[in-house]
Structure 1
Amino acid sequence: MPMVWPLVLTAVITGPLLAPGFVVSYDMVFVPDLPVRLDLFGVSAAMPRAVPSDVVVAVLDELGGGQVLNKAVLVAIPLLAGLGVTVLWRELRLGGRLAEAAAATLYVWNPFVAERLRLGAWALLLGYAALPWLVRGAIRLRQGRGWAGFVLAAALCALTASGGVVGLLVGGVVLLWRPGAYSRWPVGVALLLNAPWLVAGITHSGLATDGASVSAFAARDEGYGGTLPTLLTLGGVWNADVVPGSRGEPLGLVLAFAMLLMSLAGVQLWWRRDRFAGALVVPAVVALLIALAGVVAPGLFAQVVQHVPGAGLFRDGQRYLAPLALLESIGFGVAAAWLQAQVKPKLVVGLTAALLPVAALPALAGGAGLHLSHYPGDWPQAKQALTGRFIPWPFEAYRAPSWNGHRAVLDPMPRYFGAQPSIVPDELIVSGRRLGGEDPQAADIANALRNGTDLAPVLLRNGVGWIVVDREAGGPAPDTVIRGLTKRFEGPTIAVYQVAGTPAPERLPIWRTVTVLVAWGIAVLTLLPALASVGQRCYSSVHLIGRGRFSWDR
């Protein structure tokens, strides 16, 4: 039978968020319907940060709408993570069921998950949830068994660039730890699944990454005696506003270090028993070094980020901690199993270990500070009035609207009014410092606004003929700044203006469009056989369940 404990953890975390309404927070922005557009594939002047996750959302929200998909993602993150550690634990044959539950709890219930969930990094967390499945699939491949599970897990990791890097690192090390007949081709398959974001990023011709972003996104000390111990206890996100309140408090601090010591002791015990533990130790150490780069050598790293194409991907190093979290979770479970063998009663020891992560971080219950929201009623009417490419007004990346309880969120308007692509501001303000963006079109518009240049010609030459105004955000109305605007719609929270003149058509190199779409085709063709194989196995499992012969460990 399927394991119950991950279901319980999932219910405690996500239960209050499953009522009607959208859960939007920082980068988690789901809308009723995100249309499939060419720019979502990475064919635009903007940096392809949401490739391929935006295309996946645009396709899947056709099945039940954006709100249903929003809920499904929130449930899938802790559920897949918990079940993944459970099946990996059984694959490794490391101990009993209570120790297994302790390992699963720590992987589901830790500061990394809480902070990234509040920050809205849902696609990254789906890759995090897929990581134990990826390791299990790689182990089975080494034994000459099924391949489809590994491919699907690698595809989930590849929903984001950073998740894809983690998947390639962990999967590659596990497969190549002791090279065998099945140790090479799966790495190539995983690389092909990452082709959409890799090719879109390589062919992007935007501006260089601002070197100042390294210190802005560097890992932080959350009251644990330095950045290193903070990272080792799986915290350290750059944004202090998303850190759970219990982090740094005396009880939370003591419990966090107790779990860390148990994890390290457990890894040592596992290493003595099976040298294969090194296959998870190596990626964990690499992940920790990436997370520390912006702290230990900020000046050097800033130069690398600014001058080496693609290096900006690593400026937020703390987001790569998934391999460390997986290693510590397995080590924690091994230590719990050892304690059960040494101390009686075993049931009390096992239950205590399984509940320790929850006691250390109670704020994760109910969703780590996430809330339900509803988009304003005048937005559907505004959407009907809009017929072309637009910019949001004010031209800033984030909002704190009243309909979201004045909580910060990446501006939802480009997605909500997404029948046409928009130019999205990508300059970020971190700790009062404005960081330069990477989209030359957005930079052109932002510079014109700062310099007081007549904005209408700038908009038209960048292909923009419309302005969508967030009326709650304050600032001057656009028709007081830009000449020749015509108001096409006005509601309580939003207004739509049309710019006088004919916008220039967007001209993107044909070679780039073709190259990016070919990369997508390769990734899809790589994934389809795995989907077909899993579908066939699910069909067979239904018949086995009917006959009472189904085993979860299959």
Structure 2
Amino acid sequence: MAGGASQAGRDGEGDLSLEPALRPVARVLPWAWPVLLTVLITAPLLAPGFVVGYDLVFVPDLTLRRDLFGVTTALPRAVPSDVIVALLDEVTGGQVLNKSLLIAVPLLAGLGMTVLWRDLRLGGPLAGAAAITLFVWNPFVAERLKLGAWALLLGYAALPWLVRSALKLRNGDGWVGFLLASAMCALSAAGGVVGLLVGALLLLWPRHTRSAAEPQPRRWPLLGAVALNLPWIVAGLARTSAATTDPASVAAFAARDEGYGGVLPTLLTLGGVWNAYVVPGSRGDLVPLVFAFVMLLASVVGAVLLCRRDRAAMALVVAGVLVLGIGMAGVVAEGAFAWVVEEVPGAGLFRDSQRYLGPLALLEAVGFGAALAALLRVVPLKWLVGATAALMPIAALPQLVGSGLKVSEYPDDWAQARAVLAADPQPGEFIPWPFESYRVPLWNGRRPVLDPMPRYFSRPSLVPDELIVGGHRLAGEDPRAAAVANALRTAVRTGADPTPELLRQGVGWVVVDREAGGPQPRQLIPQLTEEYSGPSVSVYRIEGTPAEQRLRPWSVVLVYAAWVVAAGVLVTAVAGAASGLRRVRSRL
């Protein structure tokens, strides 16, 4: 796959020799096209304000705290991404970082496909542009972007870079790029799993010959990739309670048919997210449906051509089949999968199975480009055919223009409430009120968002982790959050004072979202002192002394040790990249 120029590549470039006037366009197109796609997706998001929605939550200043490292009783759902954000927003500010990371997703994905396509030498710039478009512009990206899965999408954007460096490693080089791409994948647990899967398959896939003269792939970078994922792995394993999941979550998060004749065709066309509210409106319409299946058919043909050319391409096919199987697990084996997530710690990581489709999207994008390259060698009007194919993903999903996200501003009184809460020396964490995971705040245009308060305020919080999906409440995994939720529900039913349980769980404060409605905290918790009241937020102190929450010392040591190991690997990779840049400059 990463060999010298193939006949396909020479023919693809040869098409352009017939039209000398278009040569400058051909040289610029591979680099300009990802930039143009990025502008189309993100331009409306560059207005002043924060882009928040569902799990996309950025704040002016995320304080670096112990709980962000995974030293807590909750599952490490934002490890290590929250630590990275807390470090970077000290340099850029939260708003600039928010927009920069959103821009980075399509830009890095497109540029990564550009360099991968050049290395694969499957065809010319038109076929490459088609591959780039499908990888950047597809339902998986649209749905996950609307859900706010920025860390997962950065891992997705790293996949072409990971594949390219893994192919170089098969020839004995490229460990720096492999570790840097693996680090991007490891920003989220799901992305880390995908990165390890793709990297391992490519590095361990057998060669078609066993010549002693061939360089052997360096497999030790796989250990480095595992080390980069240690923060979330160790934080999950070192919890004081079993990391099992509500079995009802399997059905709630299972992939869904979007009007494509079943779940399997929906997944094959890179859709199927569990949340119907983030599905693009054009999904299932006649024209987008036809385009989707045309691109799927072309991708299959291209994948076959790719595998016939290089045996290593089968590793990508296997990765695509495996993630497709994960995507189907909650549909074809719901009962067995539900038993697994209930009994096996950590298995709940796979309940939202559609989010693992990144390798399939990569395979289809490369296959689409390869099929187009083969077609362009035999058809007239090459630029017309190539341009049509490159624009087909956009025509099938016009809603991705502007990404469907909006810009908002946090209320002014939140900053004042933050200062009050930070200045008080009383110990204890706070709980957001109402004690629910998601909000539909007026300041965000009534768009759903994961409660920003735990990130906005500098004091640590006890975060509710129960979810309401399809009208059903799914149990969370944090025993402390469950104890608080049960105490508050008991107070609603019986009038019993929840204060003793709140203090026992280390809660000393209540921060109230006044726009959220529902019962006021003083109706349930009589022993409150109001410390601040603004138009949209109030801060109450609970009378009494919150109990200190002690974690097992060995678990704390293990979590921090995992961070040290991962940081060491990342620093090594960055140093290797810097050394490589110095060598390049010295030769210029």
Give deviations 1:256-312, integer Å, cap 9, x for gaps.
111111111111111222222201001000000000000001011000010011111
Q: Counterparts of 1:541 and 1:75 in 2: how far apart (Å)?
A: 28
Q: Counterparts of 2:579 and 2:46 in 1: how far apart (Å)?
A: 31
2:268 is the counterpart of 1:205: no
2:56 is the counterpart of 1:28: yes
Is the CA contact (8 Å cut-off) linking 1:46 and 1:206 kept in structure 2? no
Match of 1:425 in 2: 464
Is the CA contact (8 Å cut-off) linking 2:186 and 2:192 kept in structure 1? yes
| Matched residue SS, 1:465 | strand
The amino acid of 1:122's aligned partner reads W
The amino acid of 1:144's aligned partner reads G
Q: Counterparts of 2:383 and 2:584 in 1: how far apart (Å)?
A: 33
Number of residue pairs the alignment of both structures matches: 543
Q: 1:543 to 1:401 in 2, by over 3 A?
A: farther
2:436 is the counterpart of 1:408: no
Tell me the CA shift for residue 541 of structure 1.
Answer: 5.4
419, 440, 465: which is aligned to 2:479? 440
Tell me the CA shift for residue 189 of structure 1.
Answer: 1.1
Match of 1:280 in 2: 316
Q: Counterparts of 1:60 and 1:265 in 2: how far apart (Å)?
A: 43
Is the CA contact (8 Å cut-off) linking 1:390 and 1:421 kept in structure 2? yes
460, 463, 473: which is aligned to 2:506? 463
Tell me the CA shift for residue 420 of structure 1.
Answer: 1.8
521, 526, 529: which is aligned to 2:572? 529
The amino acid of 2:547's aligned partner reads A
Match of 1:97 in 2: 125
Q: Counterparts of 1:542 and 1:462 in 2: how far apart (Å)?
A: 57
Is the CA contact (8 Å cut-off) linking 2:170 and 2:218 kept in structure 1? yes
Percent identity reads: 64
Give deviations 1:426-450, integer Å, cap 9, x for gaps.
0000000000000000000111111
Match of 2:188 in 1: 160
Match of 1:182 in 2: 217
Q: Counterparts of 1:390 and 1:325 in 2: how far apart (Å)?
A: 42
| Matched residue SS, 2:501 | helix
Give deviations 1:17-62, integer Å, cap 9, x for gaps.
0111100010010000001111111110111111111111111111
Q: Counterparts of 1:114 and 1:506 in 2: how far apart (Å)?
A: 41
Match of 2:259 in 1: 223
Give deviations 1:133-167, integer Å, cap 9, x for gaps.
00101111111223111100000001111111100
Match of 1:552 in 2: none
Is the CA contact (8 Å cut-off) linking 2:488 and 2:524 kept in structure 1? no
Q: Is there any run of 5+ residues in structure 1 with no aligned partner, and where?
A: 548-554
Q: Counterparts of 2:172 and 2:115 in 1: how far apart (Å)?
A: 18
| Matched residue SS, 2:432 | strand
Is the CA contact (8 Å cut-off) linking 2:173 and 2:218 kept in structure 1? no
Q: Counterparts of 1:137 and 1:436 in 2: how far apart (Å)?
A: 41
Q: Counterparts of 1:271 and 1:365 in 2: how far apart (Å)?
A: 34
2:333 is the counterpart of 1:297: yes
Map 1:40-439 → 2, pairs under 5 A: 40-178=68-206, 181-206=216-241, 208-367=244-403, 369-387=404-422, 388-417=428-457, 419-439=458-478
Match of 1:511 in 2: 554
Give deviations 1:497-548, integer Å, cap 9, x for gaps.
000001111111111100000010000001111112223444565677xx6x
| Matched residue SS, 1:378 | helix
Q: Counterparts of 1:468 and 1:337 in 2: how far apart (Å)?
A: 58
| Matched residue SS, 1:16 | helix
Q: Counterparts of 1:257 and 1:204 in 2: how far apart (Å)?
A: 45
Q: Counterparts of 1:460 and 1:125 in 2: how far apart (Å)?
A: 39
Q: Counterparts of 2:512 and 2:167 in 1: how far apart (Å)?
A: 53
Q: Counterparts of 2:375 and 2:433 in 1: how far apart (Å)?
A: 59
| Matched residue SS, 1:143 | coil
Is the CA contact (8 Å cut-off) linking 1:102 and 1:333 kept in structure 2? yes
Q: Counterparts of 1:191 and 1:274 in 2: how far apart (Å)?
A: 27
Q: Counterparts of 2:584 and 2:150 in 1: how far apart (Å)?
A: 30
Match of 1:19 in 2: 47
After the TM superposition, list the runs of 4 or more consecutive aligned residues in structure 1 that deviate by more than 6 angstroms: none
Q: 1:398 to 1:347 in 2, by over 3 A?
A: same
Q: Counterparts of 1:17 and 1:542 in 2: how far apart (Å)?
A: 36
Q: Counterparts of 1:206 and 1:221 in 2: how far apart (Å)?
A: 35
The amino acid of 1:516's aligned partner reads V
Is the CA contact (8 Å cut-off) linking 1:47 and 1:206 kept in structure 2? no
Map 1:456-495 → 2, pairs under 5 A: 456-495=499-538
Match of 2:8 in 1: none
Match of 1:550 in 2: none
Q: Counterparts of 1:275 and 1:64 in 2: how far apart (Å)?
A: 45
Q: Counterparts of 2:326 and 2:235 in 1: how far apart (Å)?
A: 23
The amino acid of 2:511's aligned partner reads V
Which structure is larger by alpha-carbon Rg, 1 or 2? 2
Give deviations 1:87-107, integer Å, cap 9, x for gaps.
111111111011011001000
The amino acid of 1:381's aligned partner reads Q
Q: 1:357 to 1:543 in 2, by over 3 A?
A: farther
2:32 is the counterpart of 1:4: yes
Q: Counterparts of 1:66 and 1:541 in 2: how far apart (Å)?
A: 34
Is the CA contact (8 Å cut-off) linking 2:172 and 2:218 kept in structure 1? no
The amino acid of 1:96's aligned partner reads G
Give deviations 1:160-186, integer Å, cap 9, x for gaps.
111111000000000011266324212
Aligned Cα root-mean-square deviation (Å): 1.3
| Matched residue SS, 2:473 | strand
* TM-score normalised by length of structure 2: 0.91
Q: Is there any run of 5+ residues in structure 2 with no aligned partner, and where?
A: 1-27, 208-214, 423-427
| Matched residue SS, 1:449 | helix
